[in-house]
Amino acid sequence: MGLITLISDWGLSDYYVAAVKGTIYRYHPDAQIVDISHQIQAYNSYEAAYVLKNAYGNFPEGTVHLIGINTEESLDNIHTVAYYKKHYFIGCDDGIFSLIFDDEPESIFELNIPMESSSHTFSSRDRFAKAAAHLASGGSIEELGSIRDSIVSKILFTPPINDNALKGMVIHIDNYQNLITNITKSDFDNFIKGSKFEISFRTKKYRIFKVHDSYDDVVYGEIVALFTGNDILEIAINKGKAASLLGIHKKDPIVVKRM
């Protein structure tokens, strides 16, 4: 046993993914390795954090998550393992941990196990894989390095609220071209408080006055707003491609108004 997940921007055409997996198996032959995604946009820690934040909680307690993006170590960016909600996270702390967690992790350690090769370019294989194998095979986090006080803080844009408007934005466009916002169900409910509302986009042409339970609550080709399995507001077109049909891009505003 010993579940290890991988997330990275390595793509699937190269030897990078396999090199990391081979190394894990060398140190822990019984590991179960799961790919979260290797198609994160190059160097985009925000996208990696979004995907991992929504994936990790589905895994059993004790799962080890190896984060293979922006892994070059520096004085500011420390190779780190954090323990949070009974999951382990290994990566280079450029602030990505703070984007994944909702509050401070229970423990934070600086990885100081030796690198496998003289090169500094492939930390995921040369250091993180060993640390992941160590944890997944039952080793303690304390053995991996020295304690750190806190993680680097990066701020996610949480939607500002004033008297009349909750101003969110599109933070992700998924494979169906559904628009994922940064508006949570609890933020939405707290703001609306049962009154009537309007959800509007960059273009004035489309407005939504209702949140549905499922895509099929509207006919094919119709716009629908709903809260997804992770309680985040999503704008979609039933069986259609919302992003291109509505001309909406990442970071475009999604505004909720009380009426």
What count of other Cβ atoms lies within 10 Å of the Cβ of residue 32? 12
Q: Which amino acid is at 205?
A: K
d(CA 27, CA 66): 15
Which residues inside 59-78 make contact with a second copy, applying CB under 8 A?
59-60, 63, 72, 74
Residue (of 231, 235, 228) closest to 255 by Cα position: 235
Among 25, 148, 192, 250, binds a second copy (CB under 8 A): 25
Considering only residues 131 through 170, tell me which ones interact with a second copy, judged by CB under 8 A: none
Q: How far is the CB of 141 from a second copy (least distance, A)?
A: 21
In this structure, is the dihedral angle defined by the CA atoms of residues 39, 42, 46 and 48, taken in order, positive or negative? positive
In terms of phi and psi (left: phi > 0; alpha: psi -120 to 50; beta: otherwise), the region of 53 is: alpha
The values of phi and psi at residue 108, to 5°, are: -135, 130
Residue 176 interacts with a second copy (CB under 8 A)? yes
Kindly indicate which of the ranges 21-29, 98-106, 139-147, 187-195 contains the residues binding a second copy, using the contact rule CB under 8 A. 21-29
Q: How far is the CB of 174 from a second copy (least distance, A)?
A: 5
Q: How far is the CB of 189 from a second copy (least distance, A)?
A: 13
Tokens, residue 52: 């991992």
186 binds a second copy per the rule CB under 8 A:
no
Token pair 């350690």 is found at 109
* Site residues for a second copy per CB under 8 A: 1, 3, 5, 9-23, 25-26, 29, 32-40, 42-43, 50-52, 54-60, 63, 72, 74, 117, 119-122, 125-126, 174-176, 213-216, 226-229, 231, 234, 239, 241
